[in-house]
Amino acid sequence: MSRAFNFSAGPAVLPLEVLEASKQAIYDYNGLGMSIMEMSHRSKEYDEIIKTAQADVLKLMELSPNEYDVLFLGGGASLQFYMVPFNFLRKKANYITTGVWASKAAKEAEKVGETKIIASSKDTNYNYIPKEYKADDDADYLHITTNNTIYGTEWCKDVEGVKIPVVADMSSDMFAVQRDFKRYDMIYAGAQKNIGPAGVTLVVIKKSFLEKRKDIVYPNMLNYKLHIDKESMFNTPPCMNIYVVGQVLKWVMKTGLGNVEANNRKKAAVLYDFMDNSNGFYTPTVKVKEDRSLMNVAFLIKGGNPDLEAKFVKEAREKYNMANLKGHRDVGGLRASIYNACPIEWVEALTKFMGEFQVANK
């Protein structure tokens, strides 16, 4: 089978060696004569899988298991939008909205209690990351979204100068860049962008932050403390998905997080530099270079020509088997998602096609 050049924003490309390991595990895990999808989640074999994945998360983040807990939950990041305030919003919460998902998170919090938007880039269609903001000292937490898949912006620096707990949705750049994870009291990430398949969500919570939760959280499925006490086994977890995440973690550890980030920066530079030097034929939607996402490169052709953009998507697929280059339905344009597992050769092939397309459609 010939692999497509898959630039999907999610579910997204996975490392080949992870796919190979998963293929075997689906049929026969470690010679047990059964698929990992058929194993009991209470078995010693599966206990080792999930415990190893949880430990590897903390190793990559350089966090102590004495200070942080790791959960694997269902429901995606969208459930976390509500679950976070449901557990922690007592008086009020602060949010910085930098895109669709950050805004949806804030709207879910509004259903629970007082929610204050302390900064937003909505004024220019979310094409930058706000630099000026002041959190309320009496807020229960500040929530940010580190990477914005639809609009192509990313927090290039960790949050600084904030005295209240910081909660971050890192769904689409988790383990793509090195961060000072100790600055965050809670991190969550839907796996399907960068660390695994859809159906499992990674949640990392600081124990001291967990102590600030509400006294009563019901129903049980929305209670972080209960999930932690049950070690992600309150109900049957998405076993196969967690296995795949564990394999991705091993791949990142083997590669080295610093090397992963360096490769991501190199890929992004190839694509952005090409567009910046295309005499305006291709224009990234994010003008402030330091705010450009390393993961999701959103761009326009001739300032936003829908006919040419449709032609670009069609020819990319038909001529070179390049898939999923159409922009998000809410904003249009084009988008190339170049997550960790996207080889730089794919990006180079894309820019080659872009050059050919530009010459043919001046």
Give catalytic residues, as residue numbers: 101, 169, 193
Please state, as a whole number, how many other Cβ atoms lie within 10 Å of the Cβ of residue 328: 16
What sections of the chain are H helices per DSSP? Answer: 16-27, 44-61, 76-88, 100-110, 207-210, 224-229, 239-255, 257-276, 306-320, 344-360
Please state, as a whole number, how many other Cβ atoms lie within 10 Å of the Cβ of residue 290: 12
Are 185 and 50 contacting, i.e. CB atoms less than 8 angstroms apart? no
Are 203 and 88 contacting, i.e. CB atoms less than 8 angstroms apart? no
Written in H, E and C, the secondary structure of 240-254 is: HHHHHHHHHHHHHHH
Secondary structure E strands in 55-193: 68-73, 92-97, 114-120, 142-145, 147-148, 153-154, 166-169, 186-190
b/e per residue 331-345 (b: at least 16 CB within 10 A): bebbbbbbbbbbbee
b/e per residue 46-84 (b: at least 16 CB within 10 A): beebbeebbebbbebbebeeeebbbbbbebbbebbbbbb
Q: Is 173 strand, coil or helix?
A: coil
